[in-house]
Structure 1
Amino acid sequence: MQNAPIKDLIEFSDFEKLDIRVGTIINVADVEKSKKLMKLAVDFGDHQRSILAGIKQERENPLEIKGKQALFVVNLPEQKMAGEVSQGMLFDIGYADNLTPCLAMPETPMPNGSRAG
């Protein structure tokens, strides 16, 4: 693999604007109007969110991530896609480099809603 160039420098204050939290994926469902999207129900401890993720064609079995903890960006505006609303973004590793993606997840179980950074 050839590593992509490092992006332009940002201020630390820009990074601090991201709210990245641990959540447990409690359900994974098909989005019928999309060839790419799956609908994740995610538990963040004090609330649940619906998050759409383009993982349908990236994984042999997208349902295998049910029950796993992962990192999510939770302070993005709601986005409507394929007739569904997404309330955040799943972090995964590899997709941007044309690798088989994997979840960005804590090394040990963490309380849902724990912040990264």
Structure 2
Amino acid sequence: MLRTVFGASSVVARGVYPTLKGHTVLKQAFLRCISSKSIEEPVFETAEEKSVYKKLQEALNPSHLSVHDISGGCGSMYNIVVKSKSFNELTTIKQHKLVNSILKDEIGRWHGLQLSTKKDK
């Protein structure tokens, strides 16, 4: 039996979801992994994650986008994965430069960034 989570179009197999109760971070990470494309915006841990997500969403119109604060919540280290048609004619270096130029103000405040870009053909 499948169960709708948070009224969204994502579904979680019965029996898996109950094991995640009480583990907010783990549950949110799990829900991000199984979320369908019809969900416009995932649940964010921090306001900075949401801000970065919105900036990249507007600039690149990606088919897949994930933004995670991996610094433990202090906002100094991020993991970003972007899949967009905007990258189709660009080398990996140019893809990264494009993302860096979009996030130049934010990156100046960060300690580090793990960035993965993918072409969407």
Q: Using structure 1 for the length normalisation, give the TM-score.
A: 0.22
Larger radius of gyration, structure 1 or 2? 2
Which has the larger strand fraction?
1
Which has the larger helix fraction?
2
Q: Using structure 2 for the length normalisation, give the TM-score.
A: 0.22
Between 1 and 2, higher relative CO (CA 8 Å, sep ≥ 6) is seen in 1
